[in-house]
């Protein structure tokens, strides 16, 4: 069993971008690495350099034709109309960029490795992971490969039977649901903004009995997430008694994210991270969405603190502040005049509020369907 949490990272994320106008043009994983090191939280002993997954490892779930198309797109830096239509490569959402194969294969390699590292138990953090929209034969929603699916298959390969997948990204985890629909030994719980792309994961969709989908309205706040955590997520996980938990901790549900319309602070994410600790002998935490470099960097660094039981300081030391002041958010109004606390703190101010009746009713609907006891 791992004696302490491990962090999987890579330098490829520092120099790689989806393009100057794409939401994933911003630095994310490199910020978490730099900030964690600046705070003294990431010694060499717990840092694991992510391997790049080989094609054979990817075709455990993805089709060989699709993996070959990704490799060819990287070599040619272009795709044919046929490839674009079949595999959704070279689109606005899934552009061709210099590391179109190497970057997602590195994230996937980290998640596959996590399954091996967790064979005997422990905690692993792979913030580059969480690409939950990828489909077997096509890219989907900025996701070229589906590393959560590959991580769960890796856990299975290393002896794990029952897996709970929890997803608190603002978008529904359609690719993961596609991968494990109808599997009695997988429980998938997704909390996501209703009517947001990909517009799947409605309240009544249960993926053959394997999923609890909770679409939430715009403005979803910390107190509402606390209700969902305590009345749905934790009881469902406890009842399922998994051998491993995989948490997709997308950072796009916070107020400052430019794409969705939810109103969480990063405290809500950290509370879910902490609450799931110890509920299974194996715990893998992945990244996911997040398109404001300051909010995602601060949130995911705080996830690493939570996994290690580290108290987040009220004010960052000079070295941590320097990392955040070095970020840019070109092409977005939030990058023109960032508030001072984005530079000096990790923790947001809590964003509580009224718990709306529709959320209470949806949670109760799912509790009844799962036959969760009080």
Annotated catalytic residues are: 133
Task: Confirm if 118 and 158 have CB atoms less than 8 A apart.
Answer: yes
What is the C-alpha to C-alpha distance for residues 254 and 265, in angstroms, rounded to an integer? 5
Task: Confirm if 246 and 284 have CB atoms less than 8 A apart.
Answer: yes
What is the C-alpha to C-alpha distance for residues 66 and 245, in angstroms, rounded to an integer? 28
* Strands 6-9 vs 122-126: parallel, antiparallel or unpaired: parallel
What is the C-alpha to C-alpha distance for residues 287 and 77, in angstroms, rounded to an integer? 27
* Strands 122-126 vs 163-167: parallel, antiparallel or unpaired: unpaired
* Strands 6-9 vs 47-49: parallel, antiparallel or unpaired: parallel
Question: Encoding tokens for residue 137?
Answer: 């034969």
Question: Encoding tokens for residue 81?
Answer: 């109309």
Residue 108 region by backbone torsions, left for phi larger than 0, else alpha for psi between -120 and 50, else beta: alpha
Cα–chain-centroid distance for residue 150?
14
Among 228, 238, 217, smallest CA distance to 271 is for 228
CB burial readout 149-162, b (16+ within 10 A) else e: bbbbbbbbebebeb
What is the C-alpha to C-alpha distance for residues 125 and 5, in angstroms, rounded to an integer? 7
Task: Confirm if 108 and 58 have CB atoms less than 8 A apart.
Answer: yes
* Strands 282-286 vs 122-126: parallel, antiparallel or unpaired: parallel
User: Cα separations (Å) of 21 from 24, 25, 72, 368?
Assistant: 8, 7, 23, 45
* Strands 122-126 vs 244-248: parallel, antiparallel or unpaired: unpaired
Task: Confirm if 324 and 140 have CB atoms less than 8 A apart.
Answer: no
């Amino acid at each position: 069993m791992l004696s302490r949490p491990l962090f999987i990272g890579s330098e490829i994320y520092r120099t790689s971008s989806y393009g100057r106008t794409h939401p994933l043009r911003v630095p994310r994983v490199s910020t978490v690495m730099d900030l964690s090191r600046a705070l003294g939280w990431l010694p060499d002993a717990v840092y694991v350099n992510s391997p790049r997954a080989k094609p054979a490892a990817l075709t455990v779930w993805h089709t060989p034709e699709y993996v070959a198309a990704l490799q060819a797109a990287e070599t040619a830096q272009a795709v044919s109309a046929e490839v674009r239509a079949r595999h959704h490569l070279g689109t606005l959402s899934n552009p061709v960029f210099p590391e179109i194969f190497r970057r997602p294969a590195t994230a996937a390699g980290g998640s596959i490795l996590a399954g091996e590292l967790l064979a005997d138990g422990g905690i692993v953090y792979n913030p580059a992971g969480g690409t939950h929209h990828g489909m077997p034969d096509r890219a989907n929603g900025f996701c070229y490969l589906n590393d959560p699916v590959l991580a769960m298959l890796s856990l299975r390969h290393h002896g794990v039977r029952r897996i709970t997948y929890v997803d608190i990204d603002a978008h529904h985890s359609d690719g993961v649901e596609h991968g494990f629909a109808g599997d009695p030994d997988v429980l998938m719980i997704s909390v996501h903004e209703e009517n947001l792309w990909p517009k799947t994961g409605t309240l009544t969709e249960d993926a053959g009995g394997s999923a609890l989908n909770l679409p939430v309205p715009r403005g979803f706040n910390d107190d509402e997430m606390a209700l969902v955590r305590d009345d749905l997520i934790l009881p469902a996980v406890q009842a399922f008694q998994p051998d491993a938990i995989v948490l997709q901790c997308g950072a796009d549900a916070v107020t400052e994210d430019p794409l969705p319309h939810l109103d969480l602070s990063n405290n809500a994410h950290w509370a879910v991270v902490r609450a799931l600790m110890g509920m299974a002998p194996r715990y893998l935490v992945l990244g996911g969405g997040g398109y404001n470099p300051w909010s995602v960097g601060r949130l995911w660094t705080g996830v690493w603190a939570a996994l290690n039981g580290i108290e987040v300081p009220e004010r960052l030391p000079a070295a941590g502040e320097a990392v955040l002041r070095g970020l840019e958010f070109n092409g977005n109004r939030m990058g023109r005049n960032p508030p001072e606390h984005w530079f000096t703190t990790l923790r947001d101010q809590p964003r509580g509020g009224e718990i709306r009746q529709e959320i209470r009713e949806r949670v109760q609907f799912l509790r009844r369907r799962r036959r969760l006891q009080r």
